[in-house]
Amino acid sequence: MLDVGRHPNIDLLAYSEVEKLEGRSGDFKVTVRRKARYVEEDKCTGCGACKEKCPTVVPDAFNVGLGDRKAIYSWFAQGIPSTHTIDPEHCRQLKGKKCGVCAKTCLAEAINFDQKDRLVEIGVGAIIVATGYDVFDPSQIFEYRYKEIPNVVTSIEFERLLSASGPTAGHAGRPSDLAVEAEIEALEKKAGRLQRAITKFEDKYVESSSAFSKKYQDGEYKDDKDRKRWADKYAEHLAILETIEPIKKKAEGFTVAKRLAFIQCVGSRDFRFYPFCSGYCCMHSIKEAIIAHEHETETTSTIFGMDIRAVGKGFEQYKIRGGNNSNITYIRGRVAEIMEGPDNNPVVTYEDTRERRVKSEEFDMVILATACAPGRGTIETANLLGIELDRYDFVKTDPLSPVDTTTPGIFVCGCSVAPLDVPESVSQASSASERAAEVVFQSDLKKEKAVA
Amino acid sequence: MNLEDIIRETKAYYCLGCGVCTSSCPVARILPSFSPRLLVEKALLGFGDEILKDKELWSCLTCARCTNRCPAGVDYLNFVKDMRIEAKKLRQEGIAAHDGILNTVMELQTMNLKQDRLSWITDDLRVAEKGEYFYFVGCLPYFELVFGNEGYCDVGVNPLERAVNTVRILNKIGIEPVVSNDERCCGHDLLWNGDLDGFKRLAELNIRTIKDSGAKKVICVCPEGYMTLKRDYPLYFGEQDLEVVHLYQLLRDELGRGQLNFVEDNSDVPRKVTFHDPCSLGRIAKIYEEPREILSGIPGIELVEMQRNRADAICCGTSGWVNCSTCSKRIQMDRLKEAEDTGADTLITACPKCDIHLNCAKYNSDVKIGIRDITDIIVEKMI
């Protein structure tokens, strides 16, 4: 990715959207909306001082909502180009309130609140569509209760929980526990604010709050409005301390999730949704189980699936290594349903088809290996570019020309065609750029001929 | 149908052997000897004869939990129906409950017989002999005789009250339905117990009765009757130019139109109720929201959900008046406990059989929760 950012022959138009396409293979005219970042890309050094000072906290979409970011943000630390963007939906200044803290902080003077969207027109010979995929929404499978049970997560969510740069710094905390911790934090913040206010009163009247409260309750200072505020704040503070205590006690017992269940084929190999195999989920479940075990050696993982599709060089060995060294158990059986048991623990019901027995088992966390669903972006882009989609809304290609779309001069690669893993996507990308180069060279040759 | 036809018709050949059916099955969780997956596997391996003689073929509740979740789209429900039809030809059948009285009653109705089905109609109920709407009462008069107050097997239910309530509600929204003394059992249980000939005789009689009344729309309340008239009559006799509607669909459309009004509720604490989706109403007819919308529209009632609701709801434990066993009782007790755990004081059912089965399980147990039909609540609260 860094190479792309540095390459002299590559212009990167990030944070931009294609609005219009005209022309034909070899001579396209593309209108691109370069959305306003409110940050000058060439001035921003990516130091991140602005986002530290920004007062507005927003759920972080890169961490699938599990963590927070600021209204000025970079999508993720290694993103290219290394710059920041102001989210106009949430920025106080852009919403017409008083702020501008980022502009004051930025030594490079890169913040520009007056920036507007720009439309640029570029001439290109060929186009490659690489719009990726969306994670299948598992709440469509009612029986897995993804939205109802907090500790049922998708593999992307678990990936972020395991990531050192994720919301939990790599400790696989359970979402239900994280919610409790967030509640404690919010209550403590509130208690702190009240404590400061109470201290001010204590200094003002040179009296301890408990002594004052007793007198107040006995009916002294009846018409003193200022002291009434003191009494109210003190009572509220005591009430918060009281509620916080049992929650804190409960949180003392929190550990990382140690009993993990991975459920394969969530939305894939399922006639109700996508009948085909997504191909990469078996391997990423094994990978996540191995990493979770590396982080916490007591972790045990159970992978439920009809078969583990470890197709590829070294994949089968990786699977066996996971079983031997990382406490992974593989169970042949698709999970029928997940119910919520005590302590927010998901309870998984399945048939172990090798033993021919129906079992229910409790876990700390369940990770759903969600199918590769066509990206919404792919559908929009395809409509805009006039390329055909297949019946599942992936880009339509021919088996013998797997990176050619139905329109000459427009190529496609990666998960916008079909579910693919990383090495396959990379090789397809190379293939698509070769095909695009062919078109560009041929059109250049034609132009030369015309001149001659 | 021979085995190959059944496999082809129900797409059993798509089976992935994943076990979702068996682990979704309320029976298989309790009786390990019953497994939908293994029945399909046996069929695919060519052991059809073994299935036909297998007593477990009659353990299936036809609750459609497996069919609903099958990732390969295998129609297990019809697989069981067709297998039972073949088994019945070999004189195989399930173990009849209640000494077989209901099975006998159903068979009797296939013959020429004089019925007295309408004695429940009191003067304040407006019904007609001919008209646009036909109210298909179904088995309620017979259920009253068997399970009602003076019944042979009194489990503390009064099935005919549903019929009275239904006519009251229909009258309220301006419908004077046809009810007929010539109506027969819809044939649901005979069909699903493999007696295709018996089912066809009942269906023919019913179709004639309904058509003779001049009705164009048939109103059903019993979910099994609804599905039988809507799905199975056209399946075996072709399209009939009859619109089959469920009472709740009618009522949902009626809400807010001004004819169906409820008493204002001034109590501070709403009455908590929970709703049990009958298999035929929910998973099979896909009527999930209508009863909920009706209940939520009644002032003073708060609907709380059990963890297993809508498509995940669990069957009331037995079906077709066969194979009622300790397994059925465990399923029923689990369901009642689940309902109690919601904190609701009343479990609302929408099927006369769920009502009977759950009340039967409640009998002689420490379960406190009340069991009422949705029509009871409507009539109690409507003005």
Chain B residues in contact with chain A using a Cβ-Cβ cutoff of 8 Å: 14, 16-20, 22-25, 28-29, 32, 35, 37-38, 69-73, 307-308, 310-312
Which residue, of A341, A372, A403, is where some domain finishes?
A: A372
Domain match, A167 and A205 both = no
Domain segments of chain B as ranges = 3-89, 98-252, 260-381
Domain match, A306 and A438 both = no
Task: Indicate the residue type of A141.
Answer: I
Domain match, A260 and A338 both = yes
Domain match, A329 and A190 both = no
Using an 8 Å Cβ cutoff, are A151 and A175 in contact? yes
pLDDT in tens, B64-102: 999 999 999 999 999 999 999 999 999 999 999 999 999
State whether A265 and B71 contact (CB < 8 Å). yes
Is A375 within 8 Å of chain B by CB? no
Sign for the pseudo-dihedral over CA of A263, A268, A271, A272: positive
Nearest CA in chain A to B71: A270
Is A8 a residue whose pLDDT tops 90?
yes
pLDDT value of residue B74: 97
A18 domain-assigned: no
Placement of tokens 């099994």 in the chain? B224
A307 C-beta neighbours (distance < 10 Å), count: 15
Lowest mean pLDDT, pick from B202-206, B259-263, B312-316, B344-348 = B259-263
CA–CA gap between residue A10 and residue A1 (Å, rounded): 12
A127 domain-assigned: no
A160 domain-assigned: yes
Is A356 within 8 Å of chain B by CB? yes
Residue B316 C-alpha, separation from nearest chain A C-alpha, in angstroms: 19
For the B3-89 domain, the top CATH level (class) is mainly alpha
A312-322: b or e for each residue (b if 16 or more CB lie within 10 Å)?
eeebeeebeeb
CA–CA gap between residue B245 and residue B228 (Å, rounded): 12
The CATH number assigned to the domain holding A69 equals 3.30.70
CA–CA gap between residue B100 and residue B98 (Å, rounded): 5
Nearest CA in chain B to A332: B18
pLDDT band at A450 (very low <50, low <70, confident <90, very high): low
Which residue, of A252, A273, A308, is where some domain finishes?
A: A252
pTM for the full model?
A: 0.94
Which residue, of A190, A220, A252, is where some domain finishes?
A: A252
B347-366: b or e for each residue (b if 16 or more CB lie within 10 Å)?
bbbbbbbbbbbbbbbbeeee
| ipTM score of complex | 0.93
Domain match, A155 and A282 both = yes
Domain match, A328 and A389 both = no
A19 domain-assigned: no
Sign for the pseudo-dihedral over CA of B116, B121, B127, B132: negative
State whether A334 and B32 contact (CB < 8 Å). no
Is A352 within 8 Å of chain B by CB? yes
| Nearest CA among A408, A422, A426, A415 for reference residue A393 | A415
pLDDT in tens, B243-253: 999 999 999 98
pLDDT in tens, B159-188: 999 999 999 999 999 999 999 999 999 999
Is A337 within 8 Å of chain B by CB? yes
Helices and strands (DSSP H and E) totals, chain B: 18, 7
For residue A209, what are the domain limits?
Answer: 177-252
Domain match, A263 and A357 both = yes
pLDDT band at A88 (very low <50, low <70, confident <90, very high): very high
Domain match, A331 and A261 both = yes
Strand partners, B134: B178, B218
State whether A339 and B69 contact (CB < 8 Å). no
CA–CA gap between residue B283 and residue B69 (Å, rounded): 10
pLDDT value of residue A218: 87
**Nearest beta carbon to residue B23 from set A269, A271, A349:** A349
Nearest CA in chain A to B26: A358
A91 domain-assigned: yes
Is A224 a residue whose pLDDT tops 90?
no
CA–CA gap between residue A419 and residue B199 (Å, rounded): 49
The CATH number assigned to the domain holding A169 equals 3.50.50.60
CA–CA gap between residue B270 and residue B32 (Å, rounded): 42
Using an 8 Å Cβ cutoff, are B141 and B160 in contact? yes
**Secondary structure, 3-state, A376-416:** HHHHHHHHHHCCCECCCCCECCECCECCECCCCCEEECHHH
Residue B20 C-alpha, separation from nearest chain A C-alpha, in angstroms: 5
A104 domain-assigned: yes
Domain match, A340 and A282 both = yes
Task: Indicate the residue type of A372.
Answer: C
A65 domain-assigned: yes
Domain match, A155 and A269 both = yes
Domain match, A341 and A263 both = yes
**Nearest beta carbon to residue B18 from set A272, A334, A359:** A334
Task: Indicate the residue type of B112.
Answer: N
Q: How many domains does chain A have?
A: 4
A20 domain-assigned: no
pLDDT band at A219 (very low <50, low <70, confident <90, very high): confident
- The architecture of the domain spanning B260-381 is 3-Layer(aba) Sandwich (3.40)
Cβ within 8 Å of B, A 269-308: 269-272, 306
CA–CA gap between residue A112 and residue B311 (Å, rounded): 53
Cis, bond preceding B26 (omega within 30 deg of 0):
no
Domain match, A69 and A43 both = yes
Using an 8 Å Cβ cutoff, are A149 and A344 in contact? yes
pLDDT in tens, A369-417: 999 999 999 999 999 999 999 999 999 999 999 999 999 999 999 999 9
Using an 8 Å Cβ cutoff, are A285 and A161 in contact? no
Higher pLDDT pick, B348 / A223: B348
